[in-house]
Chain A
Amino acid sequence: MNKLTQRIDKERLLLGIAAPLLAIVAALVVTALVILATGKNPGSAFSDMVTYGSASDSQVYILNKATTYYLAGVSVAIGFRMNLFNIGVDGQYRIAAFFAAVLGGALTTPGWISIPLIILCAMATGALWAAIAGVLKVTRGVSEVISTIMLNSIATAIIAYLLQPGKLAELQSGGTVISTKPLPSSSYFFQINTGAAGELWGFIVIAVVVGVAYWFVLGRTRFGFDLRTVGQSESAAMASGVSVKKMIATSMVISGAVAGLIGMPTLLNDSHQFSNDFPTGIGFTGIAIALLGRNNPVGIALGALLWGFLERTTNHLEFEGYDKEILGVIQGVIVLCVVIAYELVGRYGLRRQQQRVGAELAAQAATTQKQEVA
Chain B
Amino acid sequence: MRRVAKLSAACIATAALALTATACGSTSSQNDSSSSASSGGGKGIKIGLAYDVGGRGDRSFNDSAARGADKAVKEFNGSIKELTAKPSDTEADREQRLTDLASAGYNPIVAVGFSYAASVDKVAKQFPKVNFGLIDSVATSPNVDSITFTEEQGSYLAGVAAALKTKKDHVGFIGGVDVPLIKKFEAGYVQGVHDTNAKVKVDVQYLTHGSDTSGFSSPDKGKAAAQGMLDNGADVIYSAAGSSGNGSIEAVHGAKGAWAIGVDSDQYNIPGLAAYKSSILTSMVKNVDVGVYDFIKSVHDGKPLTGNQVYSLAKNGVGLATSGGFIDDIKAQLDAAKKKIVDGTVKVKTAP
Binding site for B on A (CB under 8 A): 51-52, 54-61, 63-65, 94, 156-157, 159-160, 163, 165, 171-178, 194-197, 200, 208, 266, 270-271, 275-282, 285, 311-312, 315-316, 318-319, 324
Contact = CB atoms under 8 A, between A and B. Distances in A.
Given A61-B92, A279-B88, A315-B96, 6 more contacts: A52-B28, A59-B21, A59-B22, A174-B117, A176-B137, A277-B115
B124 interface: no
A175 B114 CA distance: 9
Interface string B67-92: 00000000000000101101111111
Nearest to B115: A277
B84 A270 contact: no
A171 B180 CA distance: 8
Interface stretch (B209-217, B226-234, B341-349): B209-217
A277 B211 contact: yes
B97 A315 contact: yes
Interface string B120-144: 0000000000000000111100000
A280 B137 contact: no
A59 B138 contact: no
A196 B23 CA distance: 9
Given A52-B31, A156-B212, A277-B213, A315 B26 contact: no
A214 B327 CA distance: 66
Nearest to A171: B180
A69 to B, nearest CB: 11
Given A276-B179, A280-B87, A173 B138 contact: yes
Contacts of A94: 211
Contacts of B239: none
28 contacts: A52-B31, A55-B31, A56-B22, A57-B29, A59-B22, A156-B209, A165-B180, A171-B180, A173-B138, A174-B117, A174-B138, A174-B146, A175-B350, A176-B137, A177-B115, A178-B180, A194-B22, A197-B25, A270-B92, A276-B177, A276-B179, A276-B211, A277-B91, A280-B87, A280-B211, A316-B96, A319-B100, A319-B104
Given A173-B138, A278-B211, A324-B84, A63 B18 contact: yes
A71 to B, nearest CB: 14
Nearest to A318: B83
Contacts of B138: 173-175
Contact of B117 (A176, A200, A280): A176
Given A176-B181, A194-B22, A281-B87, A315 B28 contact: no
B335 interface: no
Contacts of A52: 28, 31
Nearest to A271: B91
A55 B87 contact: no
B50 to A, nearest CB: 11
A281 B53 CA distance: 15
Contact of A176 (B24, B87, B88, B179): B179
Nearest to B101: A319
